[in-house]
Structure 1
């Protein structure tokens, strides 16, 4: 069997952090979503967000969630350390307690977190409560990529259509995501340490980003034990009832097939654990149904900050839409896997 090309035709240089932004509206970001194979916890979005205007003061979000409703949140603004270089090439993006490191582009990354996160529950988050008792948290992750990268709109871009980049706000830059398998250790002050194996999604984004009047979204992805995988990004129907942008891919362990989302679990309500989040993808081969239920959940209520006390320009602002970031248990043709889910929707469209 031929070796899987994990680059998928992408240039490995896209993975490396930039030394200094040239555009004053430039953004630089790496994030990871991680699921424990045993379902004991999830890490639904660890991210560094750097903007050109405050290059030496960066935002982080570090979410830890448990299926019983417990969450720990590390968020805020931090200054970076001097980046690590290998043969002159920058291989780390860091901010305070969080560091992402490239071992081999498009093939292997590491993540480290060593700092504080406050205790809360998803129920308190839904009520809009922010803050809690701080815990010292140490996390180490070694991630081995298992699928070629995917960029929403890549199929259209290959045909010269850049409209998708406009739709998702990735104007003048680059974004790709890549599923991986990983091993690691989670240490929370007062708890027993957890050594684990799992799966996850890594996102690399650089460039100008402007999402404008965001209408809400549904973003889901998972890697299964057999090696097959899926990913979607969809926006809700427009106010006139017509379909909005959606794109999806299916991976059979060797190649990607592109499609669109026929059914998506729009966030009309939030059920943190056991809520239905199944979806249907249409490709040239027909319809594929993937069932899902929420497993571990974090939530950002409308008008509450995503990055704690950090925001570009120094003005802390709340989220325009409520945000659900979490893990889900997916079932596809009888095979199960934990994966990620992120959703948002205007609060007036939520029914419960």
Structure 2
């Protein structure tokens, strides 16, 4: 659990928490997005805003609220851009249309809201047809207050070989970013009923240029536990040319210390299912420990996109699945995220 004495900046400059306020160069992206998993696995959600230089007046947003019974509320679109300036005049707001993020205290407290409609569908329908037509709508109101639970992780900052990999083409797939685990409370108003919830989550701040041509897949998992321990990792599959692939991870142990690690057993995406999938993995820390964490998804959502495709979009470009899982580490259980992608050629029919 984060305390007042914990340095939640992780050495990242405070101004990186502030959004890009004025129209930047075309192609530059400034994004805020969160993954949220209700503590009992009843539902989970992803909410994001992507501000792109060449469409600055109408930022892109995306929303998925997935329930353990397979029901899914989803929306992709753009909207009128909110003013980036908070009440104190700092550029702390990234919002568009029904979505709003605001930084209340850098690296410590953020809020997120969604007020609008979402399309009714199911996890199975999105597997069968990710480009389904949004026709059945329902009113949706979400309010979330996030308290950061660990310092942010900057990919490429923990292992020298990871830094080297991200220094080339592989770095363009994710663009400059950091991610930070949090705990949150919130309300979800749906079908005329307001439910309060407690949840875990991951917040991502990403600013820079991003390119997807050449991307061949990944596995990305992260969660925080009630006792303060946590983990995170991201890895690309082994390269066909034999060159090093990006692979980096970490744990936060019982003493609150972050220890770099390498993922050595990984649950690569090989099929689309709606949930109840084994996503266990093993990390090996730089001091030689093998950390085995059991994972099982409670809902899987095939990605509906949300980013611009390259002009030369290849037929074997990776398919993406976002999921939410129960994780168990030495008997303690929590909820967390997992996103994976694989080329269609390596997936099961």
**With structure 1 as the length reference, what TM-score do the two structures score?**
0.90
Name which of 35, 38, 43 aligns with 1:36.
38
Question: Is 1:143 aligned to 2:146, yes or no?
Answer: yes
Question: Is 1:49 aligned to 2:50, yes or no?
Answer: yes
Equivalent pair of 1:322/1:345 in contact (CA under 8 Å):
yes
Question: Is 1:114 aligned to 2:111, yes or no?
Answer: no
Equivalent pair of 1:120/1:132 in contact (CA under 8 Å):
no
Which residue in the other structure is 1:256 paired with?
A: 258
Name which of 5, 19, 27 aligns with 1:17.
19
Question: Is 1:154 aligned to 2:157, yes or no?
Answer: yes
Task: Report deviation, 1:244.
Answer: 2.1
Name which of 300, 305, 313 aligns with 1:297.
300
Distance 1:160 1:191, change over 3 A: closer
Equivalent pair of 1:222/1:339 in contact (CA under 8 Å):
yes
Q: Quick one: higher RCO (CA 8 Å, sep 6+), 1 or 2?
A: 1
Task: Report deviation, 1:165.
Answer: 4.5
Name the stretch that deviates more: 197-206 or 236-245. 236-245
Name the stretch that deviates more: 282-291 or 333-342. 282-291
Question: Aligned runs of 1:1-352 on 2, under 5 Å?
Answer: 3-43=5-45, 45-129=46-130, 130=132, 131-156=134-159, 161-166=163-168, 168-170=170-172, 174-188=176-190, 190=191, 192-239=193-240, 244-252=245-253, 254-283=256-285, 284-300=287-303, 305-307=304-306, 311=308, 320-352=317-349
The 3-state SS of whatever aligns with 2:166 is helix
Name the stretch that deviates more: 204-213 or 123-132. 123-132
Task: Report deviation, 1:217.
Answer: 0.7
Equivalent pair of 2:34/2:201 in contact (CA under 8 Å):
yes
The 3-state SS of whatever aligns with 2:193 is coil
Name the stretch that deviates more: 83-92 or 164-173. 164-173
Return the alpha-carbon distance in structure 1 between the equivalents of residues 167 and 329 of structure 2. 29
Task: Report deviation, 1:77.
Answer: 1.6
Task: Report deviation, 1:176.
Answer: 0.5
Distance 1:65 1:2, change over 3 A: closer
Query: How many residues of Structure 1 are paired with residues of Structure 2 in the alignment?
Result: 341
- Alpha-carbon RMSD across the aligned residues, in angstroms, is 2.6
The 3-state SS of whatever aligns with 1:282 is strand
Equivalent pair of 1:169/1:211 in contact (CA under 8 Å):
no
Equivalent pair of 1:65/1:326 in contact (CA under 8 Å):
no
Return the alpha-carbon distance in structure 1 between the equivalents of residues 43 and 4 of structure 2. 35
Task: Report deviation, 1:25.
Answer: 2.2
Equivalent pair of 2:323/2:337 in contact (CA under 8 Å):
yes
The 3-state SS of whatever aligns with 1:88 is coil
Equivalent pair of 1:176/1:205 in contact (CA under 8 Å):
yes
Distance 1:171 1:340, change over 3 A: closer
**With structure 2 as the length reference, what TM-score do the two structures score?**
0.90
Equivalent pair of 1:169/1:212 in contact (CA under 8 Å):
no
